[in-house]
Structure 1
């Protein structure tokens, strides 16, 4: 097989601020695997889970280029052997995700079936998603809510908290949004922006604001405090940055209610499937999330949407120059097609 890498830059319609900073654009990698005249596609999005740890696309491209000759010895059906090589070479999870996705896209095109049909899933229905409001002033948060409401039929709002200005600023933002949309349920993602004391206080307060769950209340490295929060919080606790792969689920499962699975963290669709199985065995709720991903990566995750309790796959909707067209939006929900593989085309 032949593997090629093409960087592309996407710009956000509205910059997104979380507890670790603000992003307005991202340069991702488009990975293409060609064999037998069939081309499979995947996407690698650079990301970070703590401040100052993000690897950029140039570094990712250099890392993958180093082992392309070794990978090109394989055929796209040898996914297990390819995965072993990637792990043995300590290749970053987002690159593994792109390659694994491309291999599945290739397979679907090879047998002329969309992945959801290939896997025997219910992909022929609509999947509700949440849309994200970043950390901002109350007025700016309300403005962003209105922009989303003008763009689509919103079913669920995901609010980023953990403001550097403290929990009073978080509360002010929630109250402004709640006044604007008293009818819409909310979820909250602190991105590790609270201490244990703040998380306990906020969980009590947020329960009264029609919030469904709290995501990643504590920072990475403070997982030993999760049992205490689990005992005290009246709201379900989900983890994101603390849970990369299936091994993490086992360690965290006694002290959480759910996990956020992201393709870039997991390292591929194959690992996402493992995580789904283990999470369900542990009786955890499942949500899917994204970084600055285009329609390419978000379409890949949507093929597995039937397994999720919540979908937070809205990053491509906030891009002004998404080069891909895949999953579409209908009535505020995501809809897959019958096209083979991922069902993704390039607009360029």
Structure 2
């Protein structure tokens, strides 16, 4: 099996601001494996979560280092390859890129889309939320109006809050956004750990009055000890993102949250995402899928698993000006993979 690693840069139509900063462009890693004349594609995108942060360069270097070890293996040896990646200390983003490429190869070899190989029902796919970053109220309104012009079938929104201006600014922004699209009744809020426990409690009651569906990551990673107090008092479900990377993190959270946000970059690929789904269900938790600055390749990969999720936030590629891939289509507010084998992703431009 041959492994190739290439970099590509994508630019956002609207820079995205969350509690930790603003992103306008990202350089991602494109992984290709080739075996017996069949190619499999995967991708990794960098992300920043404290000591768990992963850069494009570190991800690419780790993949290039492991490439010689893969030459004697076939894509069917997934368990052996996973063990090899863990023993080599590959960061989760690198593991995800290779794991997705293996799944794409197997699907193409079998001439079946992944969702069909897994026996999943595309009619069970939930709407994908469109994300509005932290902005002054009037700018947030303009962003949503622009989104509605681009994709008028939006059925769900995620509003980023937790900014340094405080919860009064958060409230003003949310109310402004709601006036633009009163027909959208599925709205969630993501504070990215930007609130204190006191602020989270206050906002949970206020947000419930506004009809919000759930709150994501209200407290910073490392403050999981404060989650039980919020869990007991909040009238809204509490989901965690930065506090949950893999299936090992789920059981300790089961008594203090209502759901988890699974991301391919945190988990290390589709294989671990499957484990997280089953672990979360066994713990009685809800499941959402999320993304970073992911292209259509990554979001399409996750869309194949999306019939198993309660909530979806796979919109990052819709905000890109120059994505090099074409994948799952956005239909009636849902991201729907097609019937092409593997991921069903095509390349639409060359990288200069």
Q: 3-state DSSP class of the match of 1:241?
A: coil
Q: Which residue of 2 aligns with 1:132?
A: 131
Q: Distance in 2 between matches of 1:171 and 1:257?
A: 23
Q: How does 1:8-27 map to 2 (within 5 A)?
A: 8-27=8-27
Partner SS, residue 175 of structure 1: helix
CA deviations over 1:211-250 (Å, ceiling 9, x no partner): 0000000001111100011011100000000000001011
Following superposition, the deviation at residue 332 of structure 1 comes to 2.2
Does the aligned pair in 2 maintain the 1:216–1:241 contact within 8 Å? yes
- The match for 2:100 is 101
Aligned to 2:66: 67
Q: What is the CA–CA distance in structure 1 between the aligned matches of 2:207 and 2:273, rounded to whole Å? A: 30
Aligned match of 1:222: 223
Equivalent residue number for residue 273 of structure 2: 272
Q: Secondary structure at the match of 1:150?
A: helix
Maintained 8 Å contact 1:130/1:314: yes
Q: Once the two structures are superposed, what CA deviation does each residue of 1:26-55 show, in whole Å capped at 9, x if it has no partner?
A: 0000000100000000001111123x8643
User: Which residue in the other structure is 2:235 paired with?
Assistant: 234
Aligned equivalents of 1:61, 1:178: Cα separation in 2: 41
SS for the counterpart of 2:213 is: strand
> Structure 1 residue 346: deviation in Å?
0.5
Tell me what 1:328 maps to. 329
8 A contact 1:124–1:336 mirrored in 2: no
- 2: CA distance, partners of 1:125 / 1:330: 13
Match of 1:170 in 2: 170
The 8 Å contact of residues 38 and 105 in structure 2, kept in 1 or not, is answered as yes
C-alpha deviation, 1:133, in angstroms:
0.2
2:85 equivalent to 1:121: no
CA contact (8 A) 1:125 1:335 kept: no
Identify the residue that residue 262 of structure 1 maps to in structure 2.
263
Q: Secondary structure at the match of 1:60?
A: helix
Tell me the distance in 1 between the aligned counterparts of 2:125 and 2:322: 24
Structure 1 Cα separation of the partners of residues 52 and 10 of structure 2: 20
Q: How does 1:176-215 map to 2 (within 5 A)?
A: 176-185=176-185, 186-215=187-216
Preserved CA contact (<8 Å) 1:19 1:193: yes
Give the gaps of 5 or more residues in structure 2: none
Over 6 Å off, 4+ runs: none
5+ residue gaps, structure 1: none
**C-alpha offsets along residues 84-132 of structure 1, whole Å, 9 cap, x if unaligned?**
1111121110110000000000000111000111111113676411100
The answer on whether the counterparts of 2:125 and 2:309 sit within 8 Å (CA) in structure 1 is: no
Could you give the per-residue CA deviations for residues 283-319 of structure 1, whole angstroms, max 9, x where no partner exists? 1111100000000000000001110111100000000
Shift in Å, 1:331: 2.2
Could you say which residue in structure 2 is the equivalent of 1:39?
Answer: 39
Give the paired residue count.
Answer: 347
Give the CA RMSD over aligned residues.
1.2
Matched with 2:338 is: 337
Which 10-residue stretch deviates more, 53-62 or 239-248?
Answer: 53-62
Once the two structures are superposed, the pairs formed by residues 136-175 of structure 1 within 5 Å of their partners are 136-152=135-151, 153-175=153-175
State the distance in 1 between where 2:242 and 2:160 align.
14
| Aligned counterparts, 1:309-324, within 5 A | 309-324=310-325
